[in-house]
Structure formats: structure tokens, C-alpha cells
Amino acid sequence: MIKVGQGFDVHQLVKGRKCIIGGVDIPFHKGLEGHSDADVLLHAIADAILGAAGLGDIGKHFPNTDPLIRDINSREILKKVILLLQQKKYSIVNIDATVICELPKLAPYIDQIKKNIALDCNINIDQINIKATTTETLGFTGRGEGIAAQAICLVESN
């Protein structure tokens, strides 16, 4: 059986936080606000994987009301999502994701982001595609107020 899931996430850009995207600390004067490290890309990917497996969403498994996961590294969230996927006897076929922001520019970090995701999902780097785009200065991403990400994941039963 083959199933598909999609994920979407948004986090506000604020001063005094790190800008972690795809598990990479991106040098930038603002960071992403959230209960965890607010890695918008990994959250969208985790939601896509959970959706494909029919396991709800990231908020169900990692609620922002849980003090035990305050400031958790989102790579740990992704690894736990992979364990849930494996328990349902599914494996990832591919992941395609897009980060939406004017700044920071992500092109120099895409290869490392893909390596992180491949490692955390225990898949080949060729099964991952990561893109970055802008909204041509329109909307909250265009004004630099936040960053959005969307992802799609195809899984197959083992």
C-alpha cells in the first residue's frame, strides 16, 4: 500500500532566538519562536509523515503544553516520528519540501539540511528534495515576520 501525507508549518521570526531550519543553525539576526526549537521545516516534514501514516499531527504527539519537551531539538521529534512510522510498518519513499521566506537565503545550507533529514529518517539522501522560495515580498513571509514550510511525503507498507 502507498499513502501520501502533507504538512504545513509557520513560525514567527523574533529577536533573541536561533534560526534553526532543517537541523541547521542558520546565521541570521532573528530566530524562530516556538515551544521547541521551532524548526519550521522539520515540523512540516514530521506532519507529512504522520499524515501519510494516519497518525494525526505533530501537536497530538508533541503538544506545546508539555513542559518536558520545551526547547526540544526538532531532529529528536523527527526521529520519534520515524519510530511511530516504523511501528505502523511503513517506510518513506520520498519527501519533497519547500521553505518559504525572503530571508535568510537557504541555498548554501540545503545540502546539510538534506543530510540531516536523511540521517534522522534513515533514508537515502536521494529520497529527499528541499527547496526554498520567496513570496516576492508579499504577505508575512515577504515582510520578514515569519517563515513557512510545506512538505509532502510518500510512504509504502513494508
| CATH number for the domain harbouring residue 25 | 3.30.1330.50
Amino acid 91: pLDDT: 98
Instruction: Round to whole Å and give the CA distance between 150 and 143.
Output: 19
Amino acid 145: pLDDT: 98
Amino acid 94: pLDDT: 98
Residues 152, 144, 112: CA angle, nearest 5 degrees: 50
Instruction: Round to whole Å and give the CA distance between 132 and 125.
Output: 17
* Location of C-alpha cell 521547541: 36
Amino acid 63: pLDDT: 93
**Which of 94, 86, 100, 81 has the alpha carbon at shortest distance from 41?**
100
Amino acid 52: pLDDT: 98
Spans of the chain, pLDDT less than 50? none
Amino acid 23: pLDDT: 98
Number of domains in the chain: 1
Per the CB < 8 A criterion, the answer to whether 128 and 24 are in contact is no
Amino acid 117: pLDDT: 98
Mention every residue, 6+ apart, whose C-beta is less than 8 A from residue 69.
Answer: 35, 36, 62, 77
Amino acid 40: pLDDT: 98
Q: Which domain does 137 fall in, by range?
A: 2-157
Amino acid 122: pLDDT: 98
Amino acid 106: pLDDT: 98
Amino acid 118: pLDDT: 98
- Give CA separation, 21 vs 73, 88, 113, in Å: 11, 27, 8
Strands (E), the chain: 2-14, 19-21, 24-26, 31-32, 90-100, 128-133, 146-157
Q: What is the pTM of this model?
A: 0.97
Amino acid 22: pLDDT: 98
